[in-house]
Amino acid sequence: MTRFRYGLALTAACSAVLLTACGGGGSAVRSGAEPASMSSSAPEAAARGESADKEPQARQTGQSGGVASGVEVAQQQRQVIYTGSMTVRAERVTPAVQQAKQVVTEAGGYLSQEESNSSADSEASAMLEFKIPTAKYAEVLRRLGGELGKQLSLDQKAQDVTLKVADVESRLKSAQQSLESLRTLLKRADTIGQVLDVEREISTREADLESLQAQQKELAAQTAMATLTLRLVGPVTEVDDPDDEPPGFFGGLTAGWRALVSFTKTALTLVGALLPWMAASLPLVVLVVWLVRRDRRRRPAPAARPGPESA
């Protein structure tokens, strides 16, 4: 009878946890879906402090109705991941690298990755990856593109992860509530089998909780710091054009022509590299051929084999 009551209690606890998770997930999706139709606020707005200009409108909207006020709050708390890549041609690459690091450090960012080619300064190049606070992202882009040299290209991307952040937070709360319910149920366990079952379930839920916490931490880091890949090239360094080929037949034709030109250049380069070696080894080859022919001429001709005797 005790095992039966324990089974009913465990079933009821799991059902309550599932209902709580479903309810939390649904509310998170609804709260994030409403601001998804609005335009995402760029880092420039955060840097200029436009939130101060919107406070009277927010208070007025909040007085007119609770739903509109919730939308305004959600819009101010949008979570966006900013990434970008920039190519700048500098007169001297090494000083430009140091200046770029200084600009990012002054904005509160840091260098996460660096690759450099230490050839002649006119042909040198460097690849830097920076983590920049979102509020300072636009200002850093402006300074790097204007102070280091001539900006050749700039590619920016923004990914709105507001719904994903809300979903992870909701699942995290549900997992924490589930663990609390299971720990309470563990205190009521009467037999060793019941204790082992609950502890096994607790271990599984703790692993899920740690995974959700890691996701939440990663999302927080990505939304707090924008990622910028900066490429610095020297005055004579060749820079590949961006891949803006049209799709379809003409795009394939252009790609095929470029591949043919590249193959021809590679083949001619290989022939040019081998030609001096071929010219240097030609006398040796001629000498070997002459010696082989002379040796063949000096050999005696083989004697003719006698024919069959007549009867």
102 and 139 within one domain = yes
153 and 7 within one domain = no
71 and 168 within one domain = yes
Indicate whether 311 pLDDT > 50.
no
Mean pLDDT score of the chain? 75
Residue ranges in the chain assigned as alpha helix (H): 2-36, 43-48, 51-64, 66-76, 93-106, 137-147, 162-187, 192-224, 249-298
Confidence of residue 45 (pLDDT cuts 50, 70, 90): very low
pLDDT at 281: 86
Q: Where in the sequence is the domain holding 29, given as residue range(s)?
A: 2-77+162-221
Q: Are 229 and 84 in contact (CB under 8 A)?
A: yes
The pTM assigned to this predicted structure is: 0.52
Residue 208 is assigned to a structural domain of this protein: yes
73 and 9 within one domain = yes
34 and 168 within one domain = yes
184 and 52 within one domain = yes
Q: Are 226 and 133 in contact (CB under 8 A)?
A: yes
pLDDT at 216: 93
**How confident is the model over 145-151, as a mean pLDDT?**
92
Q: How many domains does the chain have?
A: 2
Residue 296 is assigned to a structural domain of this protein: no
Q: Helix (H, G, I), strand (E, B), or coil: what is residue 19?
A: helix
71 and 22 within one domain = yes
170 and 101 within one domain = no
- The residue out of 177, 193, 221 marking a domain boundary is 221
**How confident is the model over 143-159, as a mean pLDDT?**
93
Residue 12: other Cβ atoms inside 10 A: 12
**How confident is the model over 149-175, as a mean pLDDT?**
93
- The residue out of 207, 233, 259 marking a domain boundary is 233
6 and 155 within one domain = no
Strand pairing category for 125-133 and 225-233: antiparallel
Residue 7 is assigned to a structural domain of this protein: yes
Residue 282 is assigned to a structural domain of this protein: no
Counting residues of the chain whose pLDDT is more than 90, the rounded percentage is: 40
pLDDT at 241: 55
87 and 155 within one domain = yes
Q: How far apart, in whole angstroms, are the C-alpha atoms of residue 36 and residue 160? A: 8
Indicate whether 125 pLDDT > 50.
yes
Indicate whether 259 pLDDT > 90.
no
Name the range with the highest mean pLDDT among 72-76, 128-132, 288-292: 128-132
96 and 61 within one domain = no
Query: Which whole-number Å values give the CA distances from 128 to 50, 119, 152, 232, 234, in the listed order?
Result: 31, 17, 16, 8, 15
Residues 296-309: tens digit of each pLDDT? 777 766 656 665 55
Residue 254 is assigned to a structural domain of this protein: no
Q: Are 232 and 126 in contact (CB under 8 A)?
A: yes
- The residue out of 178, 209, 233 marking a domain boundary is 233
Indicate whether 98 pLDDT > 50.
yes
Confidence of residue 68 (pLDDT cuts 50, 70, 90): very low
Confidence of residue 105 (pLDDT cuts 50, 70, 90): very high
φ and ψ of 242, to 5 deg: -65, 150
Residue 273 is assigned to a structural domain of this protein: no
Residue 60 is assigned to a structural domain of this protein: yes
Confidence of residue 235 (pLDDT cuts 50, 70, 90): confident
Indicate whether 33 pLDDT > 70.
no
pLDDT at 279: 86
pLDDT at 307: 55
Residue 20 is assigned to a structural domain of this protein: yes
143 and 16 within one domain = no
pLDDT at 18: 46
